[in-house]
Amino acid sequence: MKREYDLRKGKRGPVIPLPPEKVRITIRLDRDIVDHFREKVRKAHGGNYQTLINDALREHIQRPGLAKQLGAEVRSVLREELEKIKASA
């Protein structure tokens, strides 16, 4: 190592710039959520827990009607069961 370094031409910021589609934010998540994703990465012997969280959010966004669809299916099954009860009474 040198005793002194010339940093006059140095630049501030990350060594590797972020890709343009990535945005740096600060977000607070519950510890159990972060622990869950970190554990998945640990069990997979590598990876990035932030990428897993990103993937989970993307999957959620791409399926916005899941709760509505599930509700419709439950109502349909309930109607069928009620019809069976009425028919047998």
* In the predicted structure, residue 15 carries a pLDDT above the cut 80: no
Is residue 70 pLDDT above 90, yes or no? no
Residue 39 has pLDDT above 90, yes or no: yes
Q: C-alpha angle 65/68/69, rounded to 5°?
A: 80
Q: Are 7 and 18 in contact (CB under 8 A)?
A: no
Asked whether residue 29 carries a pLDDT value surpassing 90, the answer given is yes
Evaluate whether 33 touches 44 at the Cβ level (below 8 Å). no
CA gap 23, 12 in Å, rounded: 18
User: Crossing angle, helix 31-43 and helix 49-62, to 10 degrees?
Assistant: 110
Q: What is the mean pLDDT of residues 33-38?
A: 96
Instruction: Give the whole-angstrom CA distance, residue 60 versus residue 54.
Output: 10
**Burial class of residue 37, CB neighbours in 10 A (0-12, 13-18, 19+):** buried
47-61 residue pLDDT tens: 999 999 999 999 888
